[in-house]
Structure 1
Amino acid sequence: MNKTIVLLLSIFSLISCKTSEVGILVEKGLLIQNAQITSPENQTMSPDNFIVVDGDEIVYVGKDKPNLKGSFTIIDARGRYIIPGLIDGHVHVTGTDALSDEEELDNPEIVKKFREQLPKSYLYFGYTTLIDLGTAKPERLTDFQKTEIRPDLYYAGGGAVIGNGYGLSNWKDDIPNFIYQENEDYPIPEKYLKENHTPKAVAERIAASGAIVLKTYYEPGFDPTQPRFPTPSKALMEELKTEAHKNNLVLVVHGNSLEAHQFLGNAKVDIVAHGLWNWGSHRLDSTNAIPEEIKQVLDVEIENNVGYMPTLQVINGLRELTDSDYLNNPELEHVFPKNLIEYYKANSNVMYANVFGGAPKNIIATNFNRISNQGKINLKYMFDHGGNILFGTDTPSSPTFGNPPGYNGYLEMLEMEKAGVPPSKILAMATIENAKAFNLDQLYGTVESGKKANLLVLNKNPLQDITAYNDIEQVIINGIPFDRKTFSAQKGAE
């Protein structure tokens, strides 16, 4: 950030004028006047403010009119609402949504268009900061970072996977970040030295990569007819947490089942990367009551202040494979290139079969609606009882076109409101609470001096109307304002 700001306060004008003037000297900046600032922390509105941006930093917020010296772009925000840019705490900016590695190789032009559009799709829906929670293709992170206009991107460094466990896809690396766990009967290639795969060694390696998150997994598997994946022991998870915190890393753990959440809540991990929508042997019935065993697990997570990401769109995104009309949604035209939508339409039945085999679509849709409702009911319970709820979408979560970048975040918000979470809480989760959870609150989460100038200008009040996030007038990224339409895939197709 530009730290060469000179703030000149005039004592005489403070005494003699009803509206005092604050002198601000910059070479080139941005002035937002008549700004109605929405506070995510206390859920209030502060009208008639001035916001001054120098470079990519907010240098002044207040009601006193600034006496500007320099070249300024001016936005008159009268009648609109200013909020900090949104933070999606769980994305993957790696492959092309729903395309396998082989399909990517066979369709280079589709991949090219998608990669070019990806940062814009997130910005179109107001996501100015992303946390990538794991990729098998680190070079894609680098490619994303090279894009001139993009969300700020943070990441987990390779994933601290339990050796031979779920999520391990990097055996080809010289020193992959798997964790060697004693007393597990599984083969690890002899070329890997045990001392390179302790929690200490892996945490240090991840921190050195520039990551802010240590991501691991508690996933025994999805098919009960298959052998279980190895999962971390209580002692190992405690050691991982200790080493993560020593290296200023946030410990985020994949888990979506009753077994996983029970273990992770008791382990007091920082964040569980999914909601508890897999209830094991329990099923949601017509009473919509949460089974006592599920409540007890949620209560432990609440008591231990474990971050809880509902990730409702994981289930909904898979369900969309059953909907023959989904790809006609006009919103998709803003976030997917036209040639990719055409590819999806031509291959939707194959994509469905790749995930669900020959199962009837109506049965899959019914089951996934039930699981989705289980997730929403749990979310409402967490909200009603003071749980530490964070915003993340897991975009894209699986080989489906039902998790569109950017738009998936808006859909997650709509689902949260359906679950009974008010818009004011959703705003806080997607801004200041995410910023605090990932130790980024010195830069993001509120509209105040010293923060990064990533802002949204909305046409509706986000404290009252969740559709405000699909009525964005301008996106300000790194202090530069853009009309929202700039980021539409339709614009790129012109």
Structure 2
Amino acid sequence: MNKIIGILLFIFTLISCKTSEVEIFVENGLLIENAQIISPENQTISPDSFVVVNGDSIAYVGVEKPIVKGSFETIDAKGKYIIPGLIDSHVHVTATDALSDEEEMENPEIVASYREQLPKSYLYFGYTTLIDLGTAKPERLDDFQKAEIRPDLYFVGGGAVIGNGYGLSNWNDDIPNFIYQENEAYPIPEKYVKENHSPKAVANRIAASGAIALKTYYEPGFDPTQPPFPTPSEALMEELKTEAHKNNLVLVVHGNSLEAHRFLGNAKVDIVAHGLWNWGDFRLDSDSGIPEEIKKVLDIEIKNNVGYMPTLQVINGLRELTDSNYLNDSELEHVLPNGLIEYYKANSNTMYVNVFGDAPKNIISTNFNRLSGRGKINLKYLFDHGGNILFGTDTPSSPTYGNPPGYNGYLEMLEMESAGIPLSKILAMATIENAKAFKLEQLYGTVEEGKKANLLILNKNPLQDITAYNDIDRVVVNGQSINRTNLSAKNADE
């Protein structure tokens, strides 16, 4: 009897082992072994885990080694860390950093090499998903999409500019989705039909274009000597929000001043696309810290769960025009063609004058350091009080070489850490929280079965060391595994 029981137990054990095996057939897939997978949502680390990629999707994640059949590459990630690919939710991929239209036409070879490198530069620093928040040249989005190796790219449909406002101060500008605001004291040119430029018509067109968000602007301008640009009324902003949401679009609004953030916080827009660095007449008090009036505006945004993009590198990127050593940073060689770097070096003084005129560099640098400090203290206040912070860089933000693609995101992370933001929060902002904010969480943000196979294999733990984002072993984008060194601009130059 004992012998029979022993045989039955042996057979049952075999059956149990057989049924516990995971068998997966893949075509052009990956098997990543022995990885430590980090969850951005709860910062847990799953040790010695396995990830199977089938095509451009994740087919399996678990601690049990699967039986994989078919055509696949095996990657041993022992001692390494897997995180979801990073998301930069505020880029502009249609311009050559700091070059005017005329300069682009005069330097076609430099522009061509830059455009060829651009998608790789974002991937070099782990950005596998980008959201272009507005472009005056949408055809260049198609150029970006034609690259064989590239991040996933989403867009906002050209921008819903307020008629005669910021971004459309000249009616000859070809921006079809401008919004006519009845209460502004200017006539719409006869060639336009008002009904085609209502919030409803514009939102419908933007949604039909395949965009995921509608972007508009609250920007009275930067020159106090000039009349302010028209800005949206409360009624218009409410209508825009209603029409955007009817079309399943996220409402993103440009704004960086105290006036803009107060208005947009009260309007309960989904996302403000810049930090609050323009404080008007208020100053940072070294004794009492952030002014109470600034706190009140940030509190409104926190209460109404408005998404807040700090975009710290906007200020820093402009400041770099004052730094004669900036263009010697060796990291630039990985994201910019050498010809473009040399062009910047030869024309850096002219570029400075084009932006700042004859203002002394030391004064400009001091002023921008002050603005940068405001951005950081706002960010820390938002974090300490439960604000909805999102990761976006506005790359490139303005006519400066100080916002290099990909590298600018890493610099933004360094600034966030120096502002006192925990590494766990930085990881979450650049992955799952961005994905949720733009309704992309079914595809991105975590390492889970069924999601896009956009992954980073890191040599360091990003929950312990911010430099992990500059120590990437491999980038997986749409299921394709790429050694990081193969993405460097130095390869193209050699």
Write the letter of the residue equivalent to 1:139: E
1:345 Cα deviation (Å)?
0.3
Counterpart in 2 of 1:347? 347
Write the letter of the residue equivalent to 1:20: S
Distance 2:353 2:201 in 1: 41
Cα distance, 1:15–1:168 mapped onto 2, change above 3 Å = farther
TM value normalised by structure 1: 0.96
Write the letter of the residue equivalent to 1:444: Y
Distance 1:110 1:12 in 2: 68
Counterpart in 2 of 1:303? 303
- The C-alpha deviation readout for 1:405-445, integer Å capped at 9, x for no partner, is 00000000000000000111000000000000000000000
Counterpart in 2 of 1:161? 161
Distance 2:244 2:388 in 1: 20
1:27 Cα deviation (Å)?
3.0
Distance 2:196 2:256 in 1: 29
Distance 1:28 1:474 in 2: 17
Q: Is the 8 Å Cα contact of residues 20 and 65 (structure 1) preserved in structure 2?
A: no
Write the letter of the residue equivalent to 1:105: M
- The C-alpha deviation readout for 1:209-241, integer Å capped at 9, x for no partner, is 111110000001111111000000000000000
Q: Is the 8 Å Cα contact of residues 85 and 445 (structure 2) preserved in structure 1?
A: yes
SS of aligned partner of 1:90: strand
Does residue 87 (structure 1) correspond to residue 96 (structure 2)? The answer is: no
Counterpart in 2 of 1:493? 493
Write the letter of the residue equivalent to 2:343: Y
1:168 Cα deviation (Å)?
2.3
Counterpart in 2 of 1:6? none
1:183 Cα deviation (Å)?
1.6
Write the letter of the residue equivalent to 1:489: A
SS of aligned partner of 1:320: helix
Q: Is the 8 Å Cα contact of residues 13 and 21 (structure 1) preserved in structure 2?
A: no
Distance 1:264 1:47 in 2: 44
SS of aligned partner of 2:66: strand
Does residue 52 (structure 1) correspond to residue 33 (structure 2)? The answer is: no
Cα distance, 1:216–1:64 mapped onto 2, change above 3 Å = same
Counterpart in 1 of 2:258? 258
Write the letter of the residue equivalent to 2:254: H
Write the letter of the residue equivalent to 2:399: P
Q: Is the 8 Å Cα contact of residues 36 and 82 (structure 2) preserved in structure 1?
A: yes
Q: Is the 8 Å Cα contact of residues 37 and 49 (structure 1) preserved in structure 2?
A: yes
Does residue 279 (structure 1) correspond to residue 250 (structure 2)? The answer is: no
Gaps of 5+ in 1: 1-10
Does residue 363 (structure 1) correspond to residue 358 (structure 2)? The answer is: no
Does residue 427 (structure 1) correspond to residue 412 (structure 2)? The answer is: no
Counterpart in 1 of 2:7? none
Counterpart in 1 of 2:464? 464
Cα distance, 1:210–1:134 mapped onto 2, change above 3 Å = same
Write the letter of the residue equivalent to 2:114: F
Counterpart in 2 of 1:7? none
Write the letter of the residue equivalent to 1:487: L
SS of aligned partner of 1:161: coil
Q: Is the 8 Å Cα contact of residues 265 and 297 (structure 2) preserved in structure 1?
A: yes
Q: Is the 8 Å Cα contact of residues 136 and 169 (structure 1) preserved in structure 2?
A: no
Q: Is the 8 Å Cα contact of residues 38 and 83 (structure 1) preserved in structure 2?
A: yes
Distance 2:311 2:253 in 1: 13
Cα distance, 1:148–1:167 mapped onto 2, change above 3 Å = same
Distance 1:396 1:175 in 2: 20
Distance 2:411 2:252 in 1: 23
1:173 Cα deviation (Å)?
7.1
Counterpart in 2 of 1:152? 152
- Identity score, percent: 82
1:398 Cα deviation (Å)?
0.2
- The C-alpha deviation readout for 1:153-211, integer Å capped at 9, x for no partner, is 00010111100100227955777101110121124321000000000000000001111
1:35 Cα deviation (Å)?
1.3
Does residue 74 (structure 1) correspond to residue 77 (structure 2)? The answer is: no
Write the letter of the residue equivalent to 2:179: I
Pairing of 1:325-474 with structure 2 (within 5 A): 325-474=325-474
Write the letter of the residue equivalent to 1:32: I
Cα distance, 1:294–1:118 mapped onto 2, change above 3 Å = same
Gaps of 5+ in 2: 1-10
Write the letter of the residue equivalent to 1:157: G
Cα distance, 1:19–1:74 mapped onto 2, change above 3 Å = farther
Distance 1:78 1:384 in 2: 36
Counterpart in 2 of 1:190? 190
Does residue 136 (structure 1) correspond to residue 136 (structure 2)? The answer is: yes
Distance 1:197 1:206 in 2: 12
Q: Is the 8 Å Cα contact of residues 93 and 132 (structure 2) preserved in structure 1?
A: yes
1:63 Cα deviation (Å)?
1.2
Distance 1:181 1:324 in 2: 45
Pairing of 1:104-143 with structure 2 (within 5 A): 104-143=104-143
- The C-alpha deviation readout for 1:372-414, integer Å capped at 9, x for no partner, is 0000000000000000000000000000000000000000000
Pairing of 1:192-211 with structure 2 (within 5 A): 192-211=192-211
Cα distance, 1:148–1:283 mapped onto 2, change above 3 Å = same
Q: Is the 8 Å Cα contact of residues 158 and 175 (structure 2) preserved in structure 1?
A: no
- My pick for the range that moved more, 411-420 or 161-170, is 161-170
SS of aligned partner of 1:96: coil
Distance 2:470 2:43 in 1: 20
Counterpart in 1 of 2:483? 483
Distance 1:170 1:226 in 2: 15
